[in-house]
Chains A and B, each alone.
Chain A
Amino acid sequence: MWKDDSSAMSVRIAALISALLLSLLLGLFYNAWKYEIERIKEEEGDWQSRIAGEFGQEEIEVIKNFANVKEAQTFETMVEIYFDDMRAVLGDTPRIAEALGVSSQKVFYNHELLAMYMIRDPGDTAPRLLFPMFLLIVSIASLSLIIIIHNSFAVSMNARIHQLGILSSVGATPKQIRSSLLQEAAVLCILPVLTGNLLGILISMGLIRMSNDLLGSGVPGRHEAIFGYHPLVLAGTLLLTAVTVWISAWMPARKLSRLTPLEAIRGCRAPRAGLFAQNTGELQLNRKKKSPLLACFFGMEGELAGNALKAQKRALRTASLSLILSFFAFSIMQSFFALSQISTRETYFERYQGVWDLMVTLKDTDVDSFGETEKIREIPGIRSAIVYQRAMAKRILTEDELSREMKSFGGLAAAGDRYVTKTEEGWLVNAPIVILDDVSFLAYCEQIGITPALDGAVIWNQIRDVTNPDFRHPRYVPYVKEEEAIGILGVSNGSVEIPVLSYTEKVPALREEYAKLDYYELVHFVPVSLWMEIKGQVGGSEEDTCICMLGRENATIEDLSALQEQVDSLIAGSYQTESENRIRELEVNDKQIQGMMTIFGGFCVLLAVIGIGNVFSNTLGFVHQRKREFARYMSVGMTPGEIRKMFCVEALALAGRPILIALPPAIVLVGFMLKASYVEAGTFLAEVPVIPILIFLLAIWGTVALAYYLGWRNIRRIDLAEVLRDDTMM
């Protein structure tokens, strides 16, 4: 009965798309789940519950004798228990504890792992959203698929309404009609569902690979995802697809099977069009509509096209919605990443160009105990190397010490009590200390134009104008009057006086940011030899020491990698280190942004595919849904050319509207993002990702045009005389 190619094809495509999407979704979810478990096992261990306490071999045996326990082993001062049936963990572990005579307070569960198997302990309050999110996403996907594809079935089944009427007139019960429709739907969908499933698996495999390539490389400590699949996932996907497709077919089948024979046979030919016209799926409007714009631009054809679209509003709702959303999301995403790339470049990479090429962090090492500074400086290709460590101290500032500019925006009284504490003498502010190796400190003195000396501190005398919120272009004013020659640094247990060599606006070339969170900190730079004298009184140094190195100018990534290896080989044996390379970081950053863009872009494309699928399933059903409509146009004397024009206008409006709707809010939103990020509009406009957005747009238009072309090709073939004869000879 489903002889007609186009409506059967539309049903097949609908089934294929549903199977593909669901299979992709489940495949990805399974892999996310598997990845999470692997990650948890790596980070937390794969034990299911633990009991704290010292246990001997005998007690371990007691544990092992529990029916469900697979394995028990001691780890530090705990015993880790593994169960055969994981669901027994919540019930059995307290009983084991009881048998051992241990209080239930000492029982711990691997909640994160257990949640992955949907075993939740009421005592665990963390949300653990993976499964709820998954269920939500899958049900939304299934529902929206049903909304999309039931129309294909409806059109396809409506095409046979006349036959159904005959069947029903010779005594077929509604149930028989329904089951015959559903059986045929099943036959039609088996192959597309299987193909779609397979494609979905392949695509999810590709996506996992891609996400590894895009996100994984270069990020230390990231657990690599390995694609996996499970027969149960396949079974679940097939079941879910079957249910989705079945509901989609059942909805129109039920409606059709309930028609009386007369209604079915006569279909649209009843005088009161309302009810019957719906049964034939013919386009109808219930209220007068106007399409003034289209009518104005394209005349009668424009008006007919506009009204036809309005009549198809329900059938095309998913298409409009998903096309609007996908275009909106895509352009926002492109703009967002373009902005964030500009921002990172401006605030990070460009700023630190000429500051560092290589950074080595020496773990748990104090700056005064590092002896390899000279050796590093001797490596050919190292232009400069600064070894430094940060320490935190406090300092009292009195009202008198503050600069005039500083006072003009409220002084320290305006600072709030988060970082600044009011005391009797004045205000206690943070005074971070940056300890430089002596050679670097002397060079720094020369750089700021003072007599190099190692017996004092240099104070960075700048404070941000807190009244200016533009963080990208901050304004600085002097912090204190440059009068005091002695600074008093202190911590809770004492204080120390240090001579001030100079106040300056310049900071040494380090990959450090000052006054980032706490605008009111007063930064002190001291040489390591001074630090060794005062550290007993001040203390507060951070754990790690850093080496900030510059290679030769215009160094390539190969140069830097070679240098990195040399430095590593020099110090890695005696220290625990972590090293970074600026160009590689830039590359990793770019790659990660690209990876994110590919993934988000993929979702936008997926959304667009849903919309386009809806357009296709609609246009492929045109022959049945609209042949009478076209016969009418032709009988009034519309030429094929005019009908084609109407068709083109319809496609144009359908594809153009999402853009027109999505563009203004997208522009407004990008405007807000620009404003919030303080990137200059000119900079952004020069890098607006016009081309990808344009390609996305043209792809949408192209596919909608193709869908309409196919629809037109089908409808063009209808024989007017035949349609009219069908009408009159009934």
Chain B
Amino acid sequence: MYGSGNNQVVALDGIDLTVGKGEFVAVMGASGSGKSTLLHILGSVDKPTSGRVIIDGTDLSELNQTQAAIFRRRKVGLVYQFYNLIPTITVQKNILMPLVLDKKKPNKEYFDKIVGSLGLADRLEALPNQLSGGQQQRVAIARSLIYRPALLLADEPTGNLDQKNSGEIIDMLKLSNRNLEQTIVLITHDEKVALEADRIITIEDGHVISDERRR
């Protein structure tokens, strides 16, 4: 719920949704339908006014700021339309950031595998702003996968990319879903992108209006 008094906006209302492990779900909706709010709530960036959100056994509504940050770090990988990479450190450090913050040693094999499959192996020492948009988005995906999160949340990941790069990014998400059994919630308003998912949920004015399982 946003704003106050007459300006109050109910972004999400009575949503009851379960996403199973290993599912690839696309959430569709027009601008202002509440899909971004849903993603923020799932990513523990925002808190619901009422109701509960449970991810991997953790009730997000009970977390304080620090707990929410650590939860984001370990359990959620966030991919945004505008990549949100840290501009002052290299690609490699960006990818490893969640692990480094936890003072954990990266698994070299896993890191190489991700970096290799995303085609970033030769750009590890570059700064984000030296990469193309598609490359930056791949770095963001690598970063979100590095901790093997319970949930990968992608918010219009292709919104800022051309056709070719879009296709590649979606393929990579699909790949991680297949190969790593990665649970993915993808938010988009692009039907073509949504059609790649196992399940499409459509939201309008804060309500789920359809939930279609395709496979």
Chain A residues in contact with chain B, CB under 8 A?
269, 271-274, 277, 282-289, 299-300, 303-304, 307-308, 310-311, 629, 631-642, 720-721, 724-725, 727-729
- B83-134 contacts to A (CB < 8 Å): 84-90, 93, 97-98, 100-101, 103, 125-129, 132-133
Q: Is the CB of A283 within 8 A of B70?
A: no
**Chain A residues in 8 Å Cβ range of B127:** 285-288
* 18 pairs, A vs B, C-beta closer than 8 Å: A282-B87, A284-B88, A288-B125, A304-B88, A311-B87, A635-B72, A635-B80, A636-B72, A636-B86, A636-B97, A636-B143, A637-B70, A637-B76, A638-B69, A638-B73, A721-B45, A724-B40, A725-B37
Q: Is the CB of A641 within 8 A of B89?
A: no
Q: Is the CB of B133 within 8 A of A300?
A: no
Chain B residues in contact with chain A, CB under 8 A?
31, 36-37, 40, 43, 45-46, 65-66, 69-74, 76, 78, 80-82, 84-90, 93, 97-98, 100-101, 103, 125-129, 132-133, 136, 143, 155-156, 160
Q: Is the CB of A632 within 8 A of B101?
A: no
CA distance A634 to B98 in the complex (A): 11
**Chain B residues in 8 Å Cβ range of A285:** 87-88, 127, 129
Q: Is the CB of A725 within 8 A of B36?
A: yes
Other A-B pairs, 9, CB within 8 Å; known A288-B126, A633-B86: A283-B87, A285-B129, A299-B103, A310-B88, A311-B88, A639-B70, A642-B101, A724-B80, A727-B80
**Chain B residues in 8 Å Cβ range of A725:** 36-37, 40
Return B111 CB to nearest CB of chain A, in Å: 16
Contact of B84 among A286, A310, A635, A721 (CB under 8 A): A635
**Chain A residues in 8 Å Cβ range of B40:** 721, 724-725
CB-nearest residue of chain B relative to A272?
B129
**Chain B residues in 8 Å Cβ range of A721:** 40, 45-46
Contact of A728 among B80, B85, B101 (CB under 8 A): B80
Contact of B101 among A289, A635, A638, A724 (CB under 8 A): A638
CA distance A640 to B43 in the complex (A): 16
Known A-B contacts A307-B89, A640-B65, A640-B66; the reply to A635 vs B143 at CB < 8 A is no
Cβ-closest 6 pairs across A and B:
A637-B73, A307-B88, A273-B129, A721-B46, A271-B133, A639-B69
**Chain A residues in 8 Å Cβ range of B82:** 269, 727-728
CA distance A340 to B100 in the complex (A): 54
Contact of A300 among B45, B65, B97 (CB under 8 A): B97
Q: Is the CB of B88 within 8 A of A308?
A: yes
Return B64 CB to nearest CB of chain A, in Å: 9
**Chain B residues in 8 Å Cβ range of A300:** 97, 100-101
CA distance A720 to B70 in the complex (A): 15
**Chain A residues in 8 Å Cβ range of B43:** 635
**Chain B residues in 8 Å Cβ range of A303:** 89, 93
**Chain A residues in 8 Å Cβ range of B126:** 288
CA distance A720 to B66 in the complex (A): 13
Return B148 CB to nearest CB of chain A, in Å: 14
**Chain A residues in 8 Å Cβ range of B155:** 728
Known A-B contacts A300-B100, A724-B40; the reply to A632 vs B85 at CB < 8 A is yes
**Chain B residues in 8 Å Cβ range of A283:** 87-88
CA distance A636 to B128 in the complex (A): 15
Known A-B contacts A271-B132, A721-B46, A724-B40; the reply to A637 vs B86 at CB < 8 A is no
**Chain B residues in 8 Å Cβ range of A629:** 86-87
CA distance A631 to B46 in the complex (A): 12
**Chain B residues in 8 Å Cβ range of A641:** 66
CB-nearest residue of chain A relative to B147?
A637
Return B178 CB to nearest CB of chain A, in Å: 25
**Chain A residues in 8 Å Cβ range of B78:** 635-636
Return B129 CB to nearest CB of chain A, in Å: 4
Return A501 CB to nearest CB of chain B, in Å: 86
Q: Is the CB of B31 within 8 A of A729?
A: yes
CA distance A140 to B160 in the complex (A): 47
**Chain A residues in 8 Å Cβ range of B31:** 729
CA distance A299 to B89 in the complex (A): 13
**Chain B residues in 8 Å Cβ range of A273:** 87, 128-129
Return B22 CB to nearest CB of chain A, in Å: 23
Q: Is the CB of B74 within 8 A of A632?
A: no
**Chain A residues in 8 Å Cβ range of B80:** 635, 724, 727-728
CA distance A273 to B136 in the complex (A): 11
Q: Is the CB of B156 within 8 A of A637?
A: no
Return B92 CB to nearest CB of chain A, in Å: 10
Return B63 CB to nearest CB of chain A, in Å: 11
Return B136 CB to nearest CB of chain A, in Å: 8
